[in-house]
Amino acid sequence: MKKIVVLISGSGANLQAIIDACQAGEINGKIVSVISNKAKAYGLTRAKKAHIPTALFERKNFANNLEMDRAIAKHIETVEADLVVLAGYMKILSDEFTMRFAGKILNIHPSLLPKYKGLHTYQQALEAGETEHGTTVHFVTPELDSGAIILQAKVPIFPEDEVSDIEERVKAQEIQIYPLVIKWFTTDRLKEKNGKAYLDGQLLPENGYANE
């Protein structure tokens, strides 16, 4: 069984989906630590309710970002994690950190990457007049939101939509696709090699699995 750490900053809806999938035996893994950079993140409460150890790393307690990332990395190594899952961790990680865990860090980003990297993706899609939006699970590399894409889910945007409508639709997809990708990883079906993602030894297309 693989050991998983999950990094969060907020509500933890994705974390909850992963907790549930582990408890249901759908993921061949155990969350050994939930790490947050925000003391008030509701995800910490979710972890405690599920009896999962938590760790808080606040920026104010470190001299700089790199020192904070080094402390988090040390913690991840201490708990001997096989997989690092970013689930709404809203702080950019240093190159040193992402390279230290290369091939075993996943992120979920609320856009159809490579479109709309960074923040406010819903607003950006709406303002650009898009008729669809979505979410992407990808391997993490030093360049922000740019690692190999594993799986995407699309949702429609309707003319009368507000940001909250699209967000709700996207989040409903996220809690389906993130546990699935983690399941693939924890059963050794999913690998990253030379910046590319492979499922069952097959190179995944640029936009991930089953993106026709």
C-beta of 11 vs 28, nearer to ligand GAR: 11
Distance CA 197, CA 138 (A): 9
Q: What is residue 187's DSSP assignment?
A: T
Strand, coil or helix: 137: strand
Q: Per the annotation, does 90 bind a ligand?
A: yes
- Spatial separation of the C-alpha atoms in residues 187 and 176, rounded to whole Å: 17
- 27 labeled part of a ligand binding site: no
Question: How far apart are alpha carbons 2 and 4 in whole angstroms?
Answer: 6
- Is residue 114 reached through a cis peptide bond, with omega within 30 degrees of 0 on the bond before it? yes
Contact (CB, 8 A) for 125 and 157:
yes
Question: What minimum distance in Å lies between the beta carbon of 44 and ligand GAR?
Answer: 11
- Residue 93 counted as an annotated binding residue: yes
Nearer to ligand GAR, 20 or 198 (CB): 20
Residue sitting closest to ligand GAR (CB): 88
**Active-site residue numbers?**
109
CA distance between the termini of the chain: 33
Q: Of 161 and 174, which CB lies nearer to ligand GAR in the complex structure?
A: 174
> In the bound complex, what is the minimum distance in angstroms from residue 12's beta carbon to ligand GAR?
5
Residues near ligand GAR, by CB under 6 A: 8, 10-15, 43, 87-88, 108-110, 135, 171, 174
Considering the complex, what minimum distance in angstroms separates the CB of residue 178 from ligand GAR? 8
Which residues are paired to 151 by β-bridges? 137
Residue 50 CB, nearest distance to ligand GAR (Å)? 15
Residue 25 per-residue DSSP state: T
If the CB atoms of residues 29 and 43 are measured against ligand GAR, the closer one turns out to be 43
List the binding residues for (6R)-10-formyltetrahydrofolate.
90-93, 107
